[in-house]
Structure 1
Amino acid sequence: MRYFMELSYRGTAYRGWQTQANGVSIQSTLEQAMSKRLGWPVYILGSGRTDAGVHAEQQFAHFDTDQPLPLTDDLVYSLNCILPDDIAVHAIFPVDESVHARFSAVSRYYQYHITREKNVFAPGLTLHFRPHLNIDRMNEACQILLRYTDFKSVSKARANVAHFRCELAFAYWTTGPGDRLTFHIKANRFLWGMVRTIVGMMLEIGQDRLSLDAFDQILQARDRTVAGRAAPANGLYLVEVEYPEGVLANRPAK
């Protein structure tokens, strides 16, 4: 049987989603906790491989087991008692065995959060950035971004992918509440380091250090070396993963 797991996590202490040889990952931590709770080895596949330090308000993963699970509140509660405080499982539910957490997903929605004031109660959860930013120009850059489907210029050079095409649904900046500035971007897929590289260039545009024409030329170049530095991971969140109608039909009501 195949089961989906809905979860969230604060990525500060982890080397990203995927199991790593040189550090603790979200995936390995979940697998250890799930294996301990069920009493047999469990291998978990996520909807996306978030980078080191990146957070998720909503993430989905799947795992297979030969034994049906007791789908009660106690299962989720006991699993959360085993997991560290910065990872939370919200639901576990059955899906058709043909459904894949990564390949069945039709879109992912990310946000990047920036604050002008330092918040001592939420370290590592936003980018503290003091320079003035021209939000109108940054949103003009978003309109340029939406004209493209090939994003090789904003993918890490070592990305092992067959192609660099992504279909963007939206990209824009908003302000508030308080001093918060948020970048919103949704696409059918994302490349390794893509959102952080885009945000890094947007910050340059907002400070008038990068022109809109130069931004356009960078995207046309299909060359990561001309795109500049990526923004830090701590402000980035995976906030929503979307699946075709019916895939999440067995998810418990909130």
Structure 2
Amino acid sequence: MRLAYRGAPFHGWQCQPGEVTVQSVIEAALSTIMRTDMKIVGAGRTDTGVNARMMVAHFDVTEPLAEPGQLVRKLNALVGKDIAIEEIYEVGTESHARFDATSRTYHYYAVTSKSPFFYPLSWKAPAGLDFDKMNEAAALLLETSDFTSFAKLHTDAKTNICRVTKARWEQVGPDAWVFVITADRFLRNMVRAVVGTLVEVGRGKMSVDRFAEVIAKKDRCAAGTSMPGHALYLWDVTYPEGTRRSSDA
């Protein structure tokens, strides 16, 4: 299942007791349509308020779906305006939306001028941010493997090792920037902590050398404040070639 959602109305992706989450809404709709208790597994666990341009999830059925497109339409009628189910397709019986993903890309959007249109889905950056210095610091992330300094404390993560292959601020308009970061995996709250620390560099409150020291310390308290979730998007998820079964297979 390929889908997108606006994160503001939800308490994150993952099901939590007493909370409305993206996963719980889709599972309820899918269970209603399939007339049995259905569970889905997502490619990641976005936090409260975080958006997804592209999320992938898998679910199991005992028989192939005769009309996946019809299921898409039925789900979209039930999940509400803030979730869009875009496609449902068949994969191998052992395929796993989370464990099989080879990379994930997040975008964090910032605007440098006030806008009545962009504020719900982007961060209003202060004037004078030095994006060149921020990119100089961001380049150090490609040389890093241990991201403990940017990891939320007291989680169930077994390791804080990640492989980042891209981390860069790109200008996408006269007053608009986006931080693009791609890695094989992400830790909880990692992107927002990275962006918050880079912003300290951009404001001149932290040098690039100090940013390197923050990484080396492996201490979350040394890094900057986490950024608001409303400007963050899970942008893309990739899988090995052949994961998706062709229609004539």
Same fold (TM over 0.5): yes
Counterpart of 1:175 (choices 171, 178, 181) is 171
Quick one: distance in 2 between partners of 1:178 and 1:22? 43
**How much identity, in percent, do the aligned residues show?**
39
The CA deviation at 1:140 is 0.3
CA 1:196/1:66 → structure 2, altered by over 3 Å: closer, same or farther?
same
AA partner of residue 243 (structure 1): Y
Hey, what does 1:29 align to over in structure 2? Answer: 25
3-state DSSP of counterpart to 1:146: helix
Tell me, yes or no, if structure 1 residue 227 matches structure 2 residue 223. yes
3-state DSSP of counterpart to 2:173: coil
Tell me, yes or no, if structure 1 residue 200 matches structure 2 residue 190. no
Give a deviation string over 1:71-99, Cα, whole Å, max 9, x none: 24222112101111010011111111111
Give a deviation string over 1:29-76, Cα, whole Å, max 9, x none: 000111112221110000000111100111100011223322242221
Provide structure 2 residue ranges, at least 5 long, that are not aligned to the other structure: none
Hey, what does 1:109 align to over in structure 2? Answer: 105
Tell me, yes or no, if structure 1 residue 39 matches structure 2 residue 48. no
| Superposition RMSD in Å | 1.5
Deviation larger for 95-104 or 119-128: 119-128
Judge conservation of contact 2:69–2:88 (CA < 8 Å) in 1: no
Hey, what does 2:79 align to over in structure 1? Answer: 83
The CA deviation at 1:224 is 0.7
Hey, what does 1:94 align to over in structure 2? Answer: 90
User: Where do 1:209-248 residues align within 5 Å?
Assistant: 209-248=205-244
Quick one: distance in 2 between partners of 1:51 and 1:59? 13
Quick one: distance in 2 between partners of 1:214 and 1:68? 55
Aligned length: 248
Quick one: distance in 2 between partners of 1:175 and 1:111? 12
Quick one: distance in 2 between partners of 1:248 and 1:180? 35
Provide structure 1 residue ranges, at least 5 long, that are not aligned to the other structure: none
Quick one: distance in 2 between partners of 1:60 and 1:109? 13
